[in-house]
Copies of this chain bind each other. A is one copy, B any other.
């Protein structure tokens, strides 16, 4: 039988701890070896150098260190980058793409939620040459409301979201350069649009492209080889695709392929939980790598 300090304030907040001051001095007692920053990008830029200087590893969940070029950061985040020298050092925290770099890094830039699902689906298509890049790749992305953060806002209020569905950041979402950079695409080659689903968590991305493959099985086989041994990637049999529930509350990314062999048009569906593989779960996965723990520790 447990007691609760103030359950009325939201009974499901049972486990919340009191906030502690977020300066390196306050955070860093003896033996502190790593910090996960779930702070706005400008706060992350401010805190990170001090933490690194004290030998503390940093997994940053903001967009501060994901892009290699500071001018691209400035263009999309509408503010100068105050730590450009750290951009080259930061490892992009998508273990399936950058496992070795992460393991040896002082600073890991945890990926955005949309780019995680997008790169895991599109990266292998481009690298294998199985998608016709010049014909263009469309990524139609849909996310649950938690992707917008927890701050009270009319846009995410219940009465605005329920029974509704809408597109936003059409062709100009700031996660686009993160996808282009990590899947080796050019701007002309990707059309990305985000949508808001009336549910709390989960991202489903529907990726359209042209391929010279004749059967979905060829694409499935390519993904299987690419992700052989990956603990959090599940590739579906040809013609089958995952729904959101396949991954909600897990660190999995599930991928399925459908192909119309007669026309050469194909669709890949990629799903993650935006709060787990798209944020906190992947951060723990990166922490495990940085600290030399088993990569799946705490995640399976």
Complex Cα distance A171/B258, Å? 8
Interface check A202, CB cutoff 8 A: yes
Contact, CB under 8 Å: A240 / B146:
no
Q: Give the nearest-CB partner of A9 in chain B.
A: B240
Contacts of A204 in B (CB 8 A): 165-167, 195
Complex Cα distance A209/B204, Å? 21
Instruction: Point out which of A5, A11, A138, A263 has the most chain B C-beta atoms below 10 A from its C-beta.
Output: A11
Complex Cα distance A198/B248, Å? 15
Interface check A14, CB cutoff 8 A: yes
Contacts of A184 in B (CB 8 A): none
Interface check A77, CB cutoff 8 A: no
Contact, CB under 8 Å: B4 / A267:
no
Contacts of A267 in B (CB 8 A): 167, 170-171, 191, 193
- A195-210 toward B: CB 8 Å interface, digit per residue (1/0)? 1011110101010101
Contact, CB under 8 Å: B188 / A256:
no
Contacts of A237 in B (CB 8 A): 3-7
Interface check A163, CB cutoff 8 A: yes
* Besides A3-B237, A187-B263, A193-B208, 20 other A-B contacts (C-beta < 8 A): A5-B237, A6-B237, A7-B254, A7-B256, A10-B245, A11-B166, A11-B236, A12-B164, A14-B246, A150-B154, A150-B157, A152-B152, A156-B159, A162-B162, A162-B199, A163-B248, A164-B244, A165-B197, A165-B199, A187-B262
**A contact set with B: CB distance below 8 Å:** 1-8, 10-12, 14, 135-136, 138, 140, 142, 145-146, 150, 152-154, 156-167, 170-172, 187-188, 191, 193, 195, 197-200, 202, 204, 206, 208, 210, 224, 227-230, 233-237, 239-246, 248, 254, 256, 258-260, 262-267, 269, 271
